[in-house]
A = this chain, B = another copy of it.
Amino acid sequence: MDEVFKALADASRRSLLDRLHARNGQSLNELCEDLAMTRQAVTKHLVILEEANLVTTIKHGREKLHYLNPTPIHQIGERWIRKFERGKLAALSELKRQLEKRDE
């Protein structure tokens, strides 16, 4: 779980996920196109995404194809984010309530 959060913390990596979301199964060189980074930098990002299980790769000849795995993202949504969605407005009114309580 921590690995997923850390992997998502970098804008370049999120953009790589976006690219795979737009077109799945791209090779390393395809993913490098129009990016202001060397191929090696992209490789490092992809390794981090793989270790977080966000990307799966398959070697196909001399190419390495990258596939998006949205499951960890989904899990973060389910297990973590939903928890904080409940009582969003309730929080504000509780703020007021607690402030008044402290002044008693």
- Interface of A toward B, CB cutoff 8 Å: 2, 5-6, 8-9, 11, 14, 17, 21, 24-25, 58, 60, 65, 67-71, 73-74, 76-77, 80-85, 87-88, 91, 94-95, 98-99, 102
- Give bound CA distance, A102 to B59, whole Å: 12
The answer to whether B14 touches A91 (Cβ under 8 A) is no
The answer to whether A21 touches B73 (Cβ under 8 A) is no
The answer to whether A77 touches B81 (Cβ under 8 A) is yes
Residues of B within 8 A of A68 (CB): 84, 91
- Give bound CA distance, A60 to B95, whole Å: 13
Interface centre among A8, A84, A87, A95 (most CB of B within 10 A): A84
